Chain A
Amino acid sequence: MLVVWIDLAEQRPSTLEDQTLLTVLAGRLGQRLQRVHQVDQQRETALALQHAILGPADLPRGFAVRYQAATRPLQVGGDWYDIVDLEDGRIALVVGDCVGHGLAAATVMGQVRSACRALLLENPSPGAALAGLDRFATRLPGAQCTTAVCAVLNPDTGELVYSSAGHPPPILVDADGTTRMLDDGHTIALGIRPDWSRPEAQVTMPARATLVLYTDGLVERRRSALEHGISRVAALVQHGRASALDDLANQIMSRLAPSGGYQDDVVLLLYRHPAPLELKFPADVSQLAPTRTALRSWLTRARVDANQTMNVLVAAGEAVANAIEHAHRHSAEGTISLGATALVDQVQLTITDTGSWKPPQRATDPYRGRGITLMRGLMQDVTINPGTAGTTVHLSARIT
């Protein structure tokens, strides 16, 4: 609604001309308002459609993605990423690049991304999916010469099968800093030869290694070899391999950005193995054993040795037991969450409950005092944050 207030000169009566003028003015303003409303609606429609053709906004645990479109104010371009939960429990990862940027490239990209997803759900093989995309891209104007790397990851074992269609190689950085270019399983871009054979390669991600998929917009600079840009990414990941994954993604995006900002579409997709553990369970002693079993198997996947595994299990067990015993003594329906993340040289655990702990009183309650002493003795770092809504315990253990 728009309100117009008009002050007439003192004593002057409103005339017929005034009324005509006001009617015309009101009509004009009404039209303009409607147009603004239409533009707003179109903008919202455009944004919704753009977000629909982009990759998923909610990622599985263990992944971080950055996407930047070259052509403002568009939020999509010719680059894409996708992360697909497959029926056998594996996860498909795709990063690709359709020729050009802007709206035309984005409309092609959206179709290629959907086709690739459908192909992977039909047959979870990177080579077969890219071969299918070849047939698709041959028939879709603007899709020829699309490059893509497609990988299928087993999140339990770290096994990765991948195939590349003319795309820059994924980078794998181990916990000890060893850096590998995944440049096997590589052949020409999509849509050029419809019956081209698509090779696959396989690698097993060691525990706490970081996988990097990206498009050339991240690494390509004028008057500079592509290899130079790729080794800059590898060096940044190697340097930041102890950082949390989201921090690492931010570091890479900001450190590689040219002074005037990225001139091309950019995708950066990171995965660190194993993905963090997240458990949620009722605050009840019957949950202690299954929680321990889940944590033990996750620690095995993170290649934590037997001694350190025992120390982490006991420290986490104490935190969970505290939460069950004290936080939920008076309420039957408490919930506890336990999260564990593996970094290069440490595991970090967070145990959160929905109640508040009794302060440890050694004299009257030697048992609880002993539990906290154990936690502090077994872990490198313990912080206990009591809050009104619940208590959060952070445990951090160095691993070798």
Chain B
Amino acid sequence: MPTSLTLDTARSNDGKLVLIAAGEIDLSNIDEFNQALTTATTEAVSSGGTFTVDLTAVEYLDSAAINALFVRADRIRLIAHPLLMSVLTISGLAELVTIEPAPPTAQH
């Protein structure tokens, strides 16, 4: 059974790029996630070089995913489900990246 992950990009109202991930991120699909981050980094050049990674619908992520986010720490801001906050804080990512908690009603 493969780990399910969907990745989409969209533009927010102010024209900024948003990478929307849904599902679970672990070693089995980390390459996919890395690839999406790389593509988004390139696409974001036109709009100031920064973009948002929306993890509202991500139910699980491990240190492989956190590592991928660390590498792009200067270019991203995050939206994450409150349940992921302790993982993002303990890893230290929250010190480098602005993390906005998703509304608590968000489906998880």
Fill in one digit per residue for B70-103: 1 if any A CB lies within 8 Å of its CB, else 0.
1000000000000110110011100000000000
Q: Is the CB of B86 within 8 A of A307?
A: yes
Taken together as a complex, chains A and B put the C-alpha atoms of A306 and B63 apart, in Å, by 19
Taken together as a complex, chains A and B put the C-alpha atoms of A378 and B61 apart, in Å, by 14
Taken together as a complex, chains A and B put the C-alpha atoms of A311 and B89 apart, in Å, by 12
Interface of A, helix, strand, loop or mixed by DSSP: helix
Q: Is the CB of A310 within 8 A of B26?
A: no
The chain A residue with its CB closest to the CB of B66 is A370
A367 → B minimal CB distance (Å): 5
A321 with B60, Cβ < 8 A, contacts A285-B26, A310-B84 known: no
Taken together as a complex, chains A and B put the C-alpha atoms of A31 and B85 apart, in Å, by 82
Residue A104, interface by CB 8 Å: no
A276 proximity list for chain B (CB < 8 A): none
B99 → A minimal CB distance (Å): 15
Residue A374, interface by CB 8 Å: yes
**Which residue in B4, B26, B67, B108 is a CB contact (below 8 Å) of A370?**
B67
Residue B27, interface by CB 8 Å: yes
Number of A residues whose C-beta is below 8 Å from B?
27
Q: Is the CB of B63 within 8 A of A318?
A: yes
> Which residue of B2, B63, B90 has the most chain A CB atoms within 10 A of its CB atom?
B63
A373 proximity list for chain B (CB < 8 A): 90-92
Residue B64, interface by CB 8 Å: yes
A286 proximity list for chain B (CB < 8 A): 1-2, 28
- Tell me the chain A residues, 305-332 only, with Cβ under 8 Å from chain B: 306-307, 310-311, 313-314, 317-318, 321, 324-325
Taking residues whose C-beta sits less than 8 angstroms from the other chain, chain B's interface range is 20 to 34
A282 → B minimal CB distance (Å): 13
Q: Is the CB of B67 within 8 A of A321?
A: no
Residue B54, interface by CB 8 Å: no
Fill in one digit per residue for B1-39: 1 if any A CB lies within 8 Å of its CB, else 0.
111100000000000000000001011100000000000
> Which residue of A289, A292, A366 has the most chain B CB atoms within 10 A of its CB atom?
A289
Known: A289-B1, A378-B90. 9 other contacts (CB 8 A): A285-B26, A285-B28, A288-B26, A289-B26, A310-B86, A313-B60, A317-B62, A367-B63, A374-B90
Chain B residues in the interface with A (C-beta under 8 A): 1-4, 24, 26-28, 60-64, 66-67, 70, 83-84, 86-87, 90-92, 108
CB<8 Å pairs between A and B, sample of 22: A285-B26, A285-B28, A286-B2, A288-B3, A288-B26, A288-B28, A289-B3, A289-B24, A290-B1, A292-B24, A292-B26, A292-B60, A307-B83, A310-B60, A311-B87, A313-B60, A321-B63, A321-B64, A373-B91, A374-B63, A374-B90, A377-B91
